Structure 1
Amino acid sequence: MNAARRRLLVLLLGACALPASAVGAAAPTPAASEANGELHPAWNRFYDYDQMTALLKEMVAAWPNLLSMESIGRSVEGRDMWVVTLNNPATGPAESKPAMYIDGNVHGNEVQASETVMYTIWYLAKSYGNVPQLTELIDRSAFYFIPSVNPDGRQNWFANPHTPNSSRSGVQPTDDDHDGLLDEDGPEDLDGDGSIGVMWRPDPNGTHRRDRDDPRLFVRVEPGQKGDWSFAGSEGIDNDGDGQVNEDGPGGYDMNRNWPTDWQPDWVQGGAGVHPFSYPETKCIGAFVLAHPNIAAGQSYHNAGGMILRGPGAAYLEREYPRQDIAVYERIGKAGEELLPFYRLMVIHADLYTVHGGFVNWLAEGLGIVSFTNELWTDKRWLQNGQTPEDEKARMRLQDRLLFGQTFTDWTEYDHPEFGKVLIGGGTKWSSRTPPPFMLEEECHRNFAFTMFHAQQMPKLAFERTDVKQLAPRLWQVTVEIGNSGMIPSRTARAAQERIGEPDTLSVSGDGIAVVAAGTLFRWTDRTMFQVERHPERLRVESGIPGQDESYFRFIVEGDAGATLTLRYEAEKARNIETTVRLEETNAAPVAAAPATPAAPNG
């Protein structure tokens, strides 16, 4: 195929990938084909809630040995809150493995977040047995997915007219303007184009004029000049007669401000709700997360801006992030910058804005889980060179050529009851925060690759070596080295500092033996800090095993020569491991470590 034909084909593919038709609202089930018994969903389109549900069920049916699906609750409007678990039961129950939690679409308009979560489920499942890296990851890990945290908001965005920025909220009625009425003055689609555009009113002393080259654009006049038009806000009328337009639309709260860590009341943090977990969606997700202490990594997908965000959400919480944990965030986040062109690793409060009661802040600060938020899609992707279109005219020209004008509604006159004659039109709800459908799959895959890198850094423990030395008749010194090849420690410094969850433990058992003392060994001095334990045979390891490092422990054991000891290391956020050692002099020989019996979950 020559270059000209290839360019033509690309343009035609863009024409087929229309934002509105890509939703496929009329289709009762997702467009998916079967080849060699494998499911191949379309990733150049978007799925509303019902289509998302159907696709999730198809994936579970296609890979029943890996995937399961359950509803953990109901939304305000009664939609199921779906959780998909990916686990290989042949290597143990999900609860016995470190797990990654991944969700998306907490804000109703941030729709590609759900496609990214579903793509992750699909790619992982289809890769098992075919992609060695991912097969190994699945065998030693579990994944919990919530594709849509806000199913009502998602369905509302697909089914009703909106701007790119609305509606972030769920649909529980609220009184945004404090007039005693609920949701009484929202926007209206006055021109019937399926989106909420903007309005311009003629004004002889206006702030703008229409662009001479492209009259679709309104250009601000220079100081001292008079324009012909003034901005009249988003499309709608004054439904309640209070002199304001669109000040109290559906919902009006923010479920990403409703989590317990650093929660603040509504007059401090708008949209926070009356108390943490006050919405049915956040309540059931909170219960799920708390019931799964094996979650060692977290990822939440939002849009837009091309950001990899970590906490804290407020400056005064910087102290809640120990330097050891920050080092882990930096290493994983910098890898994300390599995998995601034009994305930046950022700190929420310092580089974006203050957030109280955010979800990933709760995971990180409240539960000690290494967690990120990715803001999907950036305008820098339009030109593929890291630059954004130089101005609105260049952006319009680019979207005309790539998307054939489908993300803009031409201006039409409307007799407005408050403003008189106005022009209504502008960008559709697909015009800015979502990638064009032909670019969606790459966006999904690159973010999937980042989260898999994150998942590969979950704790992976092994007994590296043991050394047995006889101190006296029937008295032995047993030295143990345990390594962690993941970047994430088996217990984060935050969790250890605040005593979040259960500490790790290293236990010794065996017939005819007794543990006299146990403690941590300082490797460079060969000195042991023996801890005062009522049961020294079960040593508490408060700090866990650090990431990509080793820890050393020493036991003083009474027993006959040749007796067998079983060493078992247990951690909430890592697989339990076991090995056996004989009471006989050794030369620090490596030992073969084995995972603990799969059938026994942590705890």
Structure 2
Amino acid sequence: MGLEWKYLQYDQLVQALNSYATEYPHLTKLYSVGKSFEGRELWVLELTNYSTGGAEDKPGVYIDGNHHAGEVAGSAVCLYTIDYVLNNHGADPKITYLLDTSVFYVLPRVSPDGAEFYLTTPYMLRSSVRPYPLPPDEEGLLPEDIDGDGNILQMRINDENGEWKVSAGDPRLMVRRAPDDREGQFYRVYTEGHIVNFNGYDVKPARPKWGLDFNRNYPGNWKPEVQQQGAGPYPFSEPETRAVGDFFLSHPNIAVALSYHTSGGIILRPRCAGADKTIASTDLAAMKAIGERGKELTGYPTWSIFESFTVNPNRPSAGSFIDFSFDNLGIVCFATELWDMAGRADLPKRTLKQLVELTDAEREADSLKLLKWNDEVLSGKGFVPWTAFDHPQLGAVEIGGWLPKTVQQNPPTELLQDECHKNMLFSLALAATVPRLSITKVRVEPLSTDTYRVVVGVENTGFLPTSGSEAAIRAQVARPVEVELIGAHILQGPAEHKLGHLPGRSSHGGFNTTKKVEWLIKAQSGSIITVCARAPRAGNASTAITL
């Protein structure tokens, strides 16, 4: 479609989705699954080859972006994936197979209100524009674009008792003052903004105005605000998360899910609230194998959220989309933290706990490498030089720092397409793992002029089991494989065989992926019978047999 790869506002995003639906009516359907707090439609683009069957009869692949307002690179990856898949159907055998045999449900922007506010103002916010948890009327420093340059950066103020000083390695970099530093120029460093009810002395941060976090508002291990910041008053309290939940519950064919976030360059997997030892061994092995493929394609490692992305194991993240998908619904799912600014500067990959425990000297060394990368790759434009400004309350300050939106939180636009492409490849690799039913080894044995023994094999040709996971079986949320014969009088055998679930290549070394089914039937010679197999997460398969 020739889409320009940049960060799209809501109307531009909707226009792009409508263009795809218009240009590819045989491969797409566009529909709203709900409305946001401010009334914006939450658009899902459904992608499948309808000539090979309806969407509900195929295993589903769910992809979303922008759970968090500022993580607009997630929407870009969703659009890039749509664009690439549609433009390459019929030309690329892998993509053709995926669209012919499965269905993609793509929700590019879970937080349209927050993203619109983020893209059209200098402000940063977590998810929704709905004020939460309390009206923002406290005293303190509120972020504001004081100098009118379109960004909310940092302010530094000369103060002999300040905690910060200029790095000897680069005058742009502020580093912590050593405990015994007595000589030199020292600073206080604040977020750029104005102070509500300033008394001339105290500067403290005001309570955030927009504290809701959609990724803490799902029922998976949900905790109230006092235990989990951003949780909302109750699970699914927000129309956006409720729409996602309703969509999942009304689409039992969804077998895998992928949610795009920023930043860090990490593919995250279940669980948030528990260690790997709490996951069934078959599920853990499958997710690790998929994660290794993700690393090959993106360069990003795959980490357990609980074990590598949690600072305090006694206070793990609660109410996440991943725990809702995996724990509640048994869906194998991942969340990619797009954009690895540190990796671009050749910094080592560190867990959150390792980052928290860095020494001041290590932080300075890392920051100097980041500034060097900024100068060499971005020609220095990622960091705004410190510039003198007369603050209406604080007097002489300097304003500067990293661009928070299009360097720290999201890739610069010139690097966006590369980020989109490699992560789109992982989206397709995940889609290729879904379970798929097939009817094989058909055998018809005439026993008399109108009596036959019919024997077929029902096979799962996919990587994942027909349940999607062992977690789904334990939660009793995935319907088993059912097989029926149509077009003959059945003399022996049930009209509908219930086979339970079939493992995929991820389980038991690929053994027992096929089950034998047979009937004794009465029908006329030359008549046609049909054997149908179905399981929501593995799709439908059928074969016509002439007697």
Amino acid at match of 1:236: G
Amino acid at match of 1:58: S
- Residue 322 of structure 1 and its aligned partner are, at CA, apart by 1.8
Q: Given that residues 174 and 182 in structure 1 are in contact (C-alpha distance below 8 angstroms), is that contact kept between their aligned partners in structure 2?
A: no
In the alignment, what sits opposite 2:8?
A: 47
Supply the distance in 2 between the matched residues of 1:471 and 1:234 (Cα, whole angstroms): 85
The 3-state SS of whatever aligns with 1:40 is: coil
In the alignment, what sits opposite 1:173?
A: 131
In the alignment, what sits opposite 1:543?
A: 501
In the alignment, what sits opposite 2:355?
A: none
Do structure 1's residue 223 and structure 2's residue 183 form an aligned pair? Answer: no
Percent sequence identity over aligned pairs: 34
Question: Superposition pairs for residues 76-475 of structure 1, below 5 Å?
Answer: 76-162=37-123, 166-175=124-133, 181=137, 186-212=142-168, 214-226=170-182, 228-240=185-197, 245-315=204-274, 319=278, 321-341=279-299, 343-353=300-310, 354-383=316-345, 390-416=365-391, 419-429=394-404, 430-466=406-442
In the alignment, what sits opposite 2:470?
A: 493
Q: Given that residues 174 and 183 in structure 1 are in contact (C-alpha distance below 8 angstroms), is that contact kept between their aligned partners in structure 2?
A: no
Paired residues in the alignment total 518
Of stretches 139-148 and 239-248 in structure 1, the one that deviates more from structure 2 is 239-248
| TM-score, structure 2 as length reference | 0.86
In the alignment, what sits opposite 1:33?
A: none
- Residue 475 of structure 1 and its aligned partner are, at CA, apart by 9.2
Amino acid at match of 1:576: N
Of stretches 166-175 and 263-272 in structure 1, the one that deviates more from structure 2 is 166-175
Superposed CA deviations along residues 130-151 of structure 1, whole A, max 9, x for unmatched, are: 2121112111111111111001
Supply the distance in 2 between the matched residues of 1:214 and 1:560 (Cα, whole angstroms): 87
- Residue 235 of structure 1 and its aligned partner are, at CA, apart by 1.4
Which of 15, 29, 33 is 1:68 aligned to? 29
Of stretches 238-247 and 83-92 in structure 1, the one that deviates more from structure 2 is 238-247
Are the structure 2 counterparts of residues 410 and 468 from structure 1 closer, same or farther at C-alpha, using a change threshold of 3 Å? same
Are the structure 2 counterparts of residues 231 and 476 from structure 1 closer, same or farther at C-alpha, using a change threshold of 3 Å? farther
Which of 471, 483, 489 is 1:506 aligned to? 483
- Residue 431 of structure 1 and its aligned partner are, at CA, apart by 2.8
Are the structure 2 counterparts of residues 355 and 463 from structure 1 closer, same or farther at C-alpha, using a change threshold of 3 Å? same
Superposed CA deviations along residues 331-361 of structure 1, whole A, max 9, x for unmatched, are: 11110011112x1111111110222111122
Q: Given that residues 66 and 87 in structure 1 are in contact (C-alpha distance below 8 angstroms), is that contact kept between their aligned partners in structure 2?
A: yes
Are the structure 2 counterparts of residues 283 and 481 from structure 1 closer, same or farther at C-alpha, using a change threshold of 3 Å? same
Q: Given that residues 490 and 519 in structure 2 are in contact (C-alpha distance below 8 angstroms), is that contact kept between their aligned partners in structure 1?
A: no
Do structure 1's residue 58 and structure 2's residue 16 form an aligned pair? Answer: no
Amino acid at match of 2:287: Y
The 3-state SS of whatever aligns with 2:195 is: coil
Q: Given that residues 261 and 336 in structure 2 are in contact (C-alpha distance below 8 angstroms), is that contact kept between their aligned partners in structure 1?
A: yes
The 3-state SS of whatever aligns with 1:346 is: strand
- Residue 565 of structure 1 and its aligned partner are, at CA, apart by 5.6
Amino acid at match of 1:362: F
In the alignment, what sits opposite 1:30?
A: none
- Residue 122 of structure 1 and its aligned partner are, at CA, apart by 0.5
- Residue 380 of structure 1 and its aligned partner are, at CA, apart by 4.6
In the alignment, what sits opposite 2:534?
A: 570
Q: Given that residues 271 and 304 in structure 2 are in contact (C-alpha distance below 8 angstroms), is that contact kept between their aligned partners in structure 1?
A: yes
- Residue 257 of structure 1 and its aligned partner are, at CA, apart by 0.7
Q: Given that residues 459 and 502 in structure 2 are in contact (C-alpha distance below 8 angstroms), is that contact kept between their aligned partners in structure 1?
A: no
Q: CA-atom RMSD, angstroms?
A: 3.0
- Residue 127 of structure 1 and its aligned partner are, at CA, apart by 0.6
Amino acid at match of 1:553: K
* Consecutive unaligned residues in structure 2, runs of 5 or more: 311-315, 351-363
The 3-state SS of whatever aligns with 2:247 is: helix
Supply the distance in 2 between the matched residues of 1:141 and 1:506 (Cα, whole angstroms): 20
The 3-state SS of whatever aligns with 1:204 is: coil
- Residue 421 of structure 1 and its aligned partner are, at CA, apart by 3.5
Supply the distance in 2 between the matched residues of 1:234 and 1:274 (Cα, whole angstroms): 29
Amino acid at match of 1:339: L
Supply the distance in 2 between the matched residues of 1:474 and 1:128 (Cα, whole angstroms): 45
In the alignment, what sits opposite 1:552?
A: 515
| TM-score, structure 1 as length reference | 0.79
Supply the distance in 1 between the matched residues of 2:449 and 2:84 (Cα, whole angstroms): 58
Superposed CA deviations along residues 1-20 of structure 1, whole A, max 9, x for unmatched, are: xxxxxxxxxxxxxxxxxxxx
Of stretches 293-302 and 84-93 in structure 1, the one that deviates more from structure 2 is 84-93
- Residue 72 of structure 1 and its aligned partner are, at CA, apart by 2.2
In the alignment, what sits opposite 1:7?
A: none
The 3-state SS of whatever aligns with 2:334 is: strand
Supply the distance in 1 between the matched residues of 2:169 and 2:410 (Cα, whole angstroms): 27
Supply the distance in 2 between the matched residues of 1:480 and 1:460 (Cα, whole angstroms): 16
Question: Superposition pairs for residues 495-534 of structure 1, below 5 Å?
Answer: 495-516=472-493
Supply the distance in 2 between the matched residues of 1:183 and 1:208 (Cα, whole angstroms): 24
Of stretches 485-494 and 210-219 in structure 1, the one that deviates more from structure 2 is 210-219
The 3-state SS of whatever aligns with 1:186 is: strand
- Residue 470 of structure 1 and its aligned partner are, at CA, apart by 9.2
The 3-state SS of whatever aligns with 1:134 is: helix
